[in-house]
Structure 1
Amino acid sequence: MAAPTATPPSQVGRLAPRTTGSSRAPGAAREERAGWLLTLPFLLLFLTFTAWPVIQSVFFSFTDIRNRDLRTPFAVDFVGLDQYTKAFADPIFRKAAFNTAYFVLVGVPLTMLVALTAAVALNSGISKFRSVFRLGFYTPVITSIVAVAVVWRFLLHPDAGLVNTALGWVGVDGPNWLGSTTWAMPSLIAMATWRNFGTAMIIFLAGLQGVPHALHEAAAIDGASAWQRFRHITLPILRPTILFVSVTTAIGYLQFFEEPFVMTDGGPLNSTISASMYTYQQFSFGNYGYAAALSYLIFIVIVIVTAIQFRFLAERDDR
């Protein structure tokens, strides 16, 4: 039996079928064209209604454009950073920035604390009615702000409100919650916490259900108390969840607008006016350049606050 003859190396390339380039390239090109065609509607909408307005607003923030200049938006005067420096010299904007910082520094921890407490309670002891309570706690999130405002205005009414009526039962004369420069902002923080903690609670509840029960059992056998197990087991595992909730809640609260707009109109004496509400007022007055600059100052603050949260709350690899 004769041994098989080997194919010379020079003929290997000629004998191998050339299907790689000729058959796949047209198919890949068709898929690429189909992908761009399907993406085109979104790209057109994004460029028209998102990218171009953002570019225009950046340009407007360096100009003195007002409502009278809308017909010739590119014929306005370039003022550089004057609109930004004007904001720091504006006493009303400084007051709005202080109110926003107050709202965030108190509202974010309070909302997270209430949400985490509710999530722990639902995860540990109310498993039978968990769905009912979860729906009840989440209902304010999907409720219209107008309906929420009507309810809270009734609750906080100085004469016939339920809160002052309950305080009167124990001999306490309740204040004019929304008409007092001292109590108006705490009232808005309480309403915002009640309205928004449901979202954070759902996220915390999902994170708690991912904590291994075996770790708690082992720690309990070793004599660890419930608080020690929560502090040394649950909280470290929940760190990514806490970061996510903290970032999203802070971003929302830094832009808080609906609460003062509907409840107090920024009063009394600008004690509840927020940075976003003041930006909206400047836009409605026709100060488009100044409003654009204020909006980008808010954006810069959001980026800084988010970076700080990632710096202190993100997981670290200590290995």
Structure 2
Amino acid sequence: MPPLRRRRTRSSAPGSVIENQRRKFLVPFVGPAFLFYTLLFVLPAIGAVWVSLHKWAGSGPMEFVGLRNYERVINDSQFQAAFVNTLLLLFVAGTAIFVLAFALTMVLRTMWGRSAVRSIIFFPHLINALVFGVLAGFLFNPTGLVNTALGWFGVDNPPLWLAKENIFPLIMATVIFTTTGYYTTIIMAGVDRIPPYLYEDCALAGATPFQRLWHVVIPLTWDVFGTCAILWTLSSIKIFEIIWVFGGSSGAGIPPVESWTSAVYTYVTAFSGQSTPAFGAATASAVISLLLVSVLVVFLRRVFRREAIEF
């Protein structure tokens, strides 16, 4: 007997009518948003790729140079140092942020007055990054409050926090401090949606806290972690203000190369530090960052992909 084959037939159920109505309204409602996104994001991205293939000072004629801008940028030692700092900020600072955010979520989940504590933790994220950059000059300069306090405790030779070898770790610590509360709020919202009866079932089954964490909390908030990872990838690649003000607080104007990220390198190449702006090379640097973000977002979506879980 030949195997049975399933035939696709057009259903006349009410659900298909609703689906047809939904598709009818899809274009007028989604169309304007898609057009807006295309005009403001897609076309400028395509234009950036086109500019990166030219030698251009921002005005006047453009000279097509192909991939020479990319070759120049990749072989530039300043870009290499900035790219390494970008990866450090993305992975090292990102790991610290998510570990701290998840730990704070687990601590605050059953704490009395957690709403007030959560607001306090979230508050640094509301302050503009420029404020923290300005405070750096007051707190961490050689005669600032931090070194003065260390002198009270007998430290005769306090470190030069804004020195070239120390400034980027200080920037990373500041970013972690200002960002952890934001991701703590998101992760806590994902943990709060887990039904209490699942914890009760774990208690009745004799599960340890680690088993409850590994088999219940993490799987049911896996998509939340994925969303946080993508948000951090998109935001970390654009961090600029705090680095610029931190580096300029030492009085040098342009931050030292040791504190640069790809965003700072792009700005300096385009607008500062040279007599003739190199918009083509700067745009090539931005396109490289765009490619990095695109690859990471696709990778993260695959890593954090899971089946829909209803509870």
Q: What is the rounded CA distance, in whole Å, between the counterparts of 2:89 and 2:175 in structure 1?
A: 9
Q: Which structure has the greater CA radius of gyration?
A: 1
Alignment match, 2:234: 251
1:140–1:194 CA contact under 8 A, matched in 2: yes
Q: Which amino acid aligns with 1:100?
A: T
Output the CA distance in 1 between the equivalents of 2:284 and 2:156: 46
How many residues end up aligned between the 2 structures? Answer: 277
The percentage of counterpart residues that share the same residue type is 21
C-alpha distance in 2, partners of 1:185/1:165?
A: 22
* Structure-1 separation of matches of 2:301 and 2:31: 33
Give the equivalent residue in structure 2 for 1:187: 170
Q: Deviations over 1:18-57 (max 9, x none)?
A: xxxxxxxxxx9xx99x959x977995x7666555543432
C-alpha distance in 1 between matches for 2:64 and 2:234: 31
In 1, Cα distance between equivalents of 2:201 and 2:225: 24
Q: CA-to-partner distance for each residue in 1:153-201, whole Å, 9 max, x for gaps?
A: 43333443337725863869541122141x2211111100111112211
Residue 306 of structure 1: how far off its partner (Å): 1.6
Alpha-carbon deviation of 1:68? 4.6
Aligned 8 A contact 1:63 1:80 in 2: yes
1:103–1:185 CA contact under 8 A, matched in 2: no
Q: CA deviation at 1:58?
A: 2.2
- Which residue matches 1:120? 106
Q: Deviations over 1:40-90 (max 9, x none)?
A: 7995x7666555543432221111111352xx4xxx221111111211111
Provide the C-alpha distance between the structure 2 equivalents of 1:130 and 1:167, rounded to a whole number of angstroms.
36
Letter in 1 for 2:293: I
1:54 aligns with 2:41: no
Residues 161 and 101 of structure 1: CA distance in aligned 2, closer, same or farther (over 3 Å) = same
- Name 2:221's counterpart in structure 1: 238
Structure 2: 5+ residue stretches without partners: 1-20
1:223-251 CA-to-partner distances (Å, cap 9, x unmatched) read 32222321221111111111111111122
| Counterpart check, 1:277 vs 2:264 | yes
- Superposed CA RMSD in Å reads 3.1
Q: Kindly tell me: are residues 175 and 245 of structure 1, through their superposed partners in 2, closer, same or farther at Cα, counting changes over 3 Å?
A: same
In structure 2, what is the Cα distance between the partners aligned to 1:224 and 1:216? 9
SS at the partner of 2:162? Answer: helix
Following superposition, the deviation at residue 208 of structure 1 comes to 0.8
Change (3 A) 1:235 1:153: farther
> What is residue 307 of structure 1 aligned with on the other side?
298
Question: Would the alpha carbon gap of residues 197 and 39 (structure 1) be closer, same or farther in structure 2, given more than 3 Å must change?
Answer: same
Match for 1:83 among 69, 85, 94? 69
Give distance in 1, aligned partners of 2:199 and 2:137. Answer: 44
| Structure 1: gaps (5+ residues) | 1-27
CA distance in 2 between counterparts of 1:94 and 1:179 reads: 20
Residue 162 (structure 2) pairs with residue 175 (structure 1): no
Structure 1 length normalisation: TM-score?
0.76
SS state at 2:259 partner = coil
Match of 1:208 among 183, 188, 191: 191
Give the Cα separation in 1 of the matches to 2:151 and 2:214: 36
Counterpart residue type for residue 259 of structure 2: T
CA distance in 2, matches of 1:163, 1:208: 41
CA separation of 1:208 and 1:166: change in aligned 2, threshold 3 A: farther
TM-score normalized by the length of structure 2: 0.78
Contact 1:158 1:176 in 2 (8 A): yes
Distance change in 2, residues 1:304/1:136 (3 Å): same
Distance 1:227 1:159, change over 3 A: farther
**Residue in structure 2 matching 1:146, options 130, 133, 139:** 130
Higher relative contact order (CA 8 A, sep 6+): 2
